[in-house]
Amino acid sequence: MTDHEPQPPASRRERRGQEREALHQVVVARRDARRAQRERAARLDKLRKLAFGGIVVAVLAVGGYLAFGDFLRRPADAASSGIIDVQSSMAGFTPSEIDVTAGQTVTLKWWTQDAAPHLTNGVHTMVSPDLGLHEELPAESTRLLTWTVPDKPGTYDVYCDSCCGGKDAPQMHGKIVVKAAPAAVPGTVG
Ligand SMILES: [Cu+2]
């Protein structure tokens, strides 16, 4: 019976089977290649997003630093900011402590928004007898005050005596910290 089995059809079936198998492999290979490409593209896209995110974070950090650096640096430091911003108000001095360097000439940008009727003689004052300071600031004004810091390192009291109880009111007092000038390096001309 098996002798009657026609061989050619069987081998044709086989061939067709092999062809189908080959075709299937091609299809699978193409599908795998497409998937790999998609995955590569996704990885690249993720990298691009990460890089972009990094740039955004860096830009925000720099912008934030520029915008809020003055707040972060409090108490105000003459060495890093050049001009020391000081506000006088009914709450006293803001910041309530400033750091300066002995012997250095500093500039205070001293300002107030308070109106004259609230202030004795229409001014806020900045008084520090130990440091030889006795200055006045007219109501609703800004004053650039240039001051050569005495060469006496230490922490000194400063107060306003023309509003809100003056010298007797604790909130009208602030601190001026005079830091020692950096020591000259031996062998160099200071
Ligand atoms: Cu005052």
CA of 123 to the centre of ligand 1 (A): 7
Task: Provide the residue ranges of all domains of the chain, joining segments of one domain with +.
Answer: 2-71, 76-179
The yes-or-no verdict on residue 27 having pLDDT over 80 is: yes
Which tens digits make up the pLDDT trace of 149-180?
A: 999 999 999 999 999 999 999 999 999 999 99
CA of 175 to the centre of ligand 1 (A): 15
The residue written with tokens 């020391």 in the block is 84
CA of 166 to the centre of ligand 1 (A): 7
Residues near 13 by Cβ (< 8 Å), separated by ≥ 6?
Answer: none
Neighbours of 39 (CB within 10 A): 10
Helices (H) and strands (E) in the chain, counts: 2, 10
The yes-or-no verdict on residue 126 having pLDDT over 80 is: yes
Predicted pLDDT of residue 71: 47
CA of 121 to the centre of ligand 1 (A): 11
Where is average pLDDT lowest: 13-27, 48-62, 113-127, 128-142? 48-62
Sign for the pseudo-dihedral over CA of 85, 88, 177, 180: positive
The more confident residue out of 73 and 171 is 171
CA of 149 to the centre of ligand 1 (A): 22
CA of 174 to the centre of ligand 1 (A): 11
- Name which of 89, 86, 121 is nearest 100 in CA terms: 86
Residues near 175 by Cβ (< 8 Å), separated by ≥ 6?
Answer: 96, 97, 98, 155, 156, 157, 158
- Are the C-beta atoms of residues 128 and 157 closer than 8 Å to each other? yes
76-179 in CATH: which number? 2.60.40.420
Which residues are bridge partners to 145 per DSSP? 108
Helix or strand holding residue 32 (H, E): helix 7-72
